[in-house]
Structure formats: C-alpha cells, structure tokens
Chain A
Amino acid sequence: MFEAVLLTVITAATPLLIAAVGELVVERSGVLNLGVEGMMIMGAVVGFAVANQTGSGTLGVFAAVGAGMAMAALFGFLVLILVANQVATGLALTILGTGFSGLIGEAFIGVPGLKIPSLYIPGLSDIPFIGPVLFQQDAIVYVGFLLVAVVAYTLFRTRLGLVLRAVGDNHNSAHALGYSVIRVRFLAVLFGGACAGLAGSYMSLAYTPQWVENMTAGRGWIALALVVFSSWLPLRVVAGAYLFGAVSVLNLHAQAHEQVNIPSQLLSSLPYLATILVLVLISANRRLTLVNTPACLGKPFVPDR
C-alpha cells in the first residue's frame, strides 16, 4: 500500500521537480521567465509527435528538450537582446505555447501514445519494496535527480555557479568584472527551456502517454511557485516538489479509503495551504531570504559600452 502511494508520488512530483530546477537556474541568473507552462506544453506536444512518428521514445524526449530550448531562445531574444518586459513576454510565451501546441497536436488527438519503458536492473529491481520504488522507474525520474545534484553542485561549488549567481545578484558589478551578463543569462534561459521541455515530455510520454490540449494543466505555474517556495535552493526544490506531489496524491488516497473522512475540498487545498505555511516560515528569517533571493531578479540589463 505504502509502496503504491510512493510510486504515484514519484510520477506526480517528477515533472514539477524538473521544470522547477530549470526555472531556478534562470532566476538565479536574474531573469524571471513566466513562460514555463508554455515551454512545457510545447515539450509535451513535440515529444509526443516525434515519438509517434519515429516510434522512438528517446528521440521524442530529445525533440521535446529541443522544443523547450527553441521557445526559451525566443524568450531570451526578446527579453535579453530587445530588452522587452520580462513579465509580459513570459506570459505571452505561455499563451503562445498553449495555442501553438494545440495547432501542432491537432493530428495527434485520439492517438494512443507510447510509454517510455521503465528501467530494469537485474537483482536490484527485484528487492522487495526498495526495488520497485528506487530501481524500476523510467529514465527521466533519474535524470531529474541527477539534474538537481548537478545544479546544486554547480551553483555553489564551481566558478561557473559563482558567475551565474553574481550576474543574478548584481549585473552591473558582474559586467564591470568583464563577464558577459547577456551571454550568461541567455545560456541560463536555454537551460530552463530544456528542463521545461523535458518535464513536458514526461507528461506526454510517461505520466499519461497521450496528447490532449492543455495536458500540463497548470504544472508550469506550480513549478514557478516551487522556485519561490524553495527560496532558490535546489535541494529544497526536491522537498517542495515531493511535498506537493505527496499531498495531492494522499488527497486521492484518503478519499478512496473507507476509514478516512475528510472533506475533499479541504484535502485539495492542502498543497496550497502548505505552500503558504512554508512561505511564512521562510520569510520569518529575513536575512536568509535576502541572501538567497537574486537581487537583480526581473531587472533588465543594458550594457553601457
């Protein structure tokens, strides 16, 4: 029983986790991209379409990553090169993604998809309980954890991470030191797009292997909230994504259970109540919040030459 719940939680949390980690890097570089939902849905549709045409789930995933990056490149061009308003451009990106994905996906409505196979490691996968939970997931789940580890290490233990954080905290100083603010931000935005695309392909190739319009159903927005929830710390993103996944899955299990009698509306609101609670707890420690918030978040940068 517990194992079954845990398995469902992992699938529910993975797309949130991957999209949020990507956005975290973007925001650490000082750019606010509200287009996560749009990039995600484009990843979902392109991933599905390519997998459907080629018969290869792997190709589908790579295509989805590419689609997310293409959307991100468009955003980067508008926001970083043309210095368009970040909030408005991000929203437009979401609207564009939702509409354009519907157009591309028209031919794939009602077509059953293919599911990325789960890994099977002889020996390890057969261990009771631990095996199915830890060693029988599809590859994207592991990629998600790997991404978090790499991002956490890079951000705080490498020079690259230091530069990225410097650009996000004070773009004028970083510029004065000779770093190309625009280039660093553009790469961060591309990384965010790749992650959103990957998260989208998880939706259409693993979570629910099919294409339907709006199938991401607001998960991009939740990912955005998770970044704030985590106060821009990668490991907390994992905690947040799993908390969110766990609460929403437990809600469904509690309803189906005979002995538990809690109103479903209350259960549905639990993830959001939890978010508010955590935000209050985090902001109680003002100093820590200030240290981790990228100071230049959302501020445009125009190099003076």
Chain B
Amino acid sequence: MKSLLKATVAAFAFVAAGSAANAADVKACYIYVGPIGDFGWSYQHDQGRLAVEEYFGDKVETAYLESVPEGPDAERAIERFAREGCNIIFTTSFGYMNQTLKVAKKFPDVKFEHATGYKTADNVATYNSKFHQGRYIIGQIAAKQSKTGVAGYIASFPIPEVVAGINAFLLGAQSVNPDFKLKVVWVNTWFDPGKEADAAKALIDQGADIITQHTDSTAPLQVAQERGVHGFGQASDMINFAKDAQYTAIIDEWGPYYIERIQEVMDGTWKSESTWDGLAEGHVVMAPYTNLPDDVVEMAIGTEEKIKGGWEPFTGPITKQDGSVAAEEGVTLDDGAILGMNWYVQGVDDKLPQ
C-alpha cells in the first residue's frame, strides 16, 4: 500500500521529497524533462539514479521530478529541491541551464549538476557524454548496409549537440561511401511518438532505408521494423521493439558518473567541473551489434576500439556545407568547437534552421 501511494504521488509528478529524513548522508535529487517511462533519455537518467541507490544503499537518499517543462516551471522545481535539503541536484536537460544557475546563486551550499549545458559556476558543474562518437560508428554501419545510399535522420531541436550528432553520423558514413546522402527532418519536439513515427514514414517514403533519430521514443524504430528497413536505438537498447530492424543502439550510461560525483560530495572533494566523457570512459556504450554481417560488425568494433584509444571522429579533413574548411587534414576540432557546433558538414541534404 505504501509503495502504491508513493507511486501515485510520483505519477502526479509531485514527489514528496524530504518527508522521510532518514539517516542518509547525502540526498541526491533529479529533474527529468520527460517521463521516466519514455524508454529513452529520461529513462536512462533514472536508471542512473537507481544505480546510485543500489550502490550506496541507505547512505544516499534520492528523489526525482519527472516531466518538468524547460523554462520558468523548472526554476520552481529546482528551487523546491534546494529548499528541501537536497545536497546535490542533477538537472538533466539542456533547457534547464539558466534556471539551474539562477537557483544555484541562491543556494551556495547545494551542489548543482547540469547535463549537456555549457555554463558553470562555483557550485554548478556540467556533464555530458560524447554521443557523437557512437553516431560516427552508426554512420559507418549505415553506409555499409544501405542499398539506396540514403539515410533519414529525425532531429529534435537545432542545438549544437544535435547538429554535432548529424555531422558525426555523416562523417562516419562518408568514410565508407563518400556519396552517401542524409535527409534530415526536424520534428521540433523531444518526445511525440506519433510525430516521430510520421517523420520516419516520410523519410522512408522518400527513399531512406536507414532511419536514425535524435528524439526519445521507440516509435521510429518500430516503423522501420514494420516497413522492413533498419535503424538504431536511441539512449537505450530498443531491440525489443525492432528485433529485425535494430543494428545497434547508442546507450547512455549515467550511473558511473552519478556514483562518482555523489561519492565526492560525501568525501567533501566535489569541485565544479565540466565532464565530457565518451566510449572510452564507458559513459557511452554501444548495444550488441545485431542483424549485421560479420565484416560490418568487425568494422564497427574496430572503430569503437580506435575511438576508445583516443581518436576523435571530428578529425580533419572536414569541409563545411558552404565549402569552407572546418578542419585541415589531421587536425582535430577542440571541445569548444564541437560543443558549440552550428554548421553542417558537406553532404547534408538540409538547411540548418537558424
């Protein structure tokens, strides 16, 4: 009964945090942009939170708020957590950036961690993962497997992270087939299964036989399965939704990072940093390669190893869409250039929304 009650409260997105003040050393709180049941972005963050609970047991208490809209509402949610005695608050979406900083100013003793942002303060750290490393690999697979030579990309919002993902995918594909084409559709939402499915259908109808996405639901992959084309899972392993269609998935593993940071809070060694890790550190993980011939799996694993060994997909020569040079042969773009990316590489069949 108690658990049912708890779940009901959670379902209303009003978690009664702080009511049970046990002997926990640290209270870690999470703000999610989507429902934890999206089986994508927010789901993976919540898996990270559960990993924290499992690792620390009674020593850490956690709380979360789901489906918190980006914008002014977020500020209220973050502030409430700060007031309720959270020691560290993870705000897990790009759009919480300014709200996080604003609340952090009022609560200098609380640690804040903002995912995917670029503004830090004394008590605000940022963290992100190099998803584009995974996207380079799936781009290579796409170019190997596509018969039409065209892939469809369902994109959410034209922010640097998404643009970098598109570029990395195409660079990977071009490394296999220089003439590979990429069609991009912006759905202007992170989560709308119906719209994502419609976008996938539109792309397939226009000749794409590989579907990939930077949105959070499993719907596009399901359409791929239904139409007999292939695609890649996003944020979590979506193989159950597309047994024959999924080649692999780029999985976000937040657990290790959350455990590390909370441990630092306990030890008093927490510092404001900008963490940006990828395949090498295990923050980005590729799901098992399925439905692929052996040589393609071998290539993918080879690229994975190369990236883990320190090679970066954004290594020149890279030409921008307008023909100018982004990186000379052998030159690697620095982190700032990737995190602020607002241009397409040559070959993207789309105009970047401004």
Q: For B222, list chain A residues within 8 Å (CB).
A: 112, 208-210
Given contacts A208-B222, A212-B38, contact A253 B12 (CB under 8 A): no
For residues 243 through 291 of chain B, which have their beta carbon under 8 Å from a beta carbon of chain A?
none
Could you jot down 24 A-B contacts, CB within 8 Å?
A4-B205, A95-B12, A99-B11, A99-B13, A109-B43, A212-B35, A212-B37, A212-B191, A213-B35, A213-B36, A213-B38, A213-B67, A214-B35, A214-B191, A215-B193, A217-B191, A217-B192, A217-B195, A255-B184, A256-B152, A257-B206, A261-B351, A264-B186, A268-B186
Could you tell me the dominant secondary structure of chain A's interface residues?
helix
- Interface residue A182 (Cβ < 8 Å from any Cβ of B): no
Given A99-B11, A210-B218, A263-B353: A8 touches B194 (CB 8 Å cut-off): no
- Whether B305 is near chain A, meaning CB under 8 Å from some CB there, is no
With a cutoff of 8 Å between Cβ atoms, the chain B residues found around residue A253 in the complex are: 202, 205-206
Among A100-108, A158-166, A225-233, A272-280, which stretch is in contact with chain B?
Answer: A100-108
A77-96 to B contact mask, C-beta < 8 Å, 1/0: 00000000000000000010
Contacts A100-B11, A217-B195, A253-B202: A210 and B241 contacting too (C-beta < 8 A)? yes
Question: What residue of chain A has the Cβ atom nearest to residue B353's Cβ?
Answer: A264
Task: Pick from A5, A209, A214, A248: contact of B205, CB below 8 A.
Answer: A5
Q: Number of residue pairs across A and B with beta carbons under 8 Å?
A: 129
Alpha-carbon distance A157/B174, docked complex (angstroms): 64
A12 to B37, CA, bound (A): 23
Smallest distance from the beta carbon of B40 to chain A beta carbons, Å? 8
Taking CB atoms, residues of chain A closer than 8 Å to B351 are: 261, 263
The distance in angstroms between the C-alpha atoms of A4 and B208, with both chains bound, is: 14
Q: How far is the CA of A211 from the CA of B35 in the complex (A)?
A: 12
Query: Given the complex, which residues of B lie within 8 Å of A209, measured CB to CB?
Result: 222
Question: Closest CB-CB distance, B26 to chain A, in whole Å?
Answer: 27
Please name the 4 residue pairs, one residue from A and one from B, whose CB atoms are nearest each other, closest first: A213-B35, A99-B11, A4-B205, A213-B37
Q: Determine which of B13, B37, B187 lies in contact with A252 in the assembled complex, contact meaning CB atoms within 8 Å.
A: B187
Contact digits for A1-13, partner B, Cβ 8 Å, 1 yes 0 no: 1001101100110
Q: Verify if A110 is at the interface (C-beta below 8 Å from B).
A: yes
A214 touches B67 (CB 8 A): yes
Name which of A106, A252, A253, A257 has the most chain B CB atoms within 10 A of its CB: A252
Write the nearest CB–CB distance from B262 to chain A, whole angstroms.
25
Q: What residues on A are CB-neighbors of B240 within 8 Å? A: 110-112
Known: A207-B193, A210-B241. 14 other contacts (CB 8 A): A12-B198, A110-B240, A207-B197, A208-B217, A208-B222, A214-B38, A214-B191, A215-B193, A248-B195, A253-B202, A253-B205, A256-B184, A258-B349, A265-B188
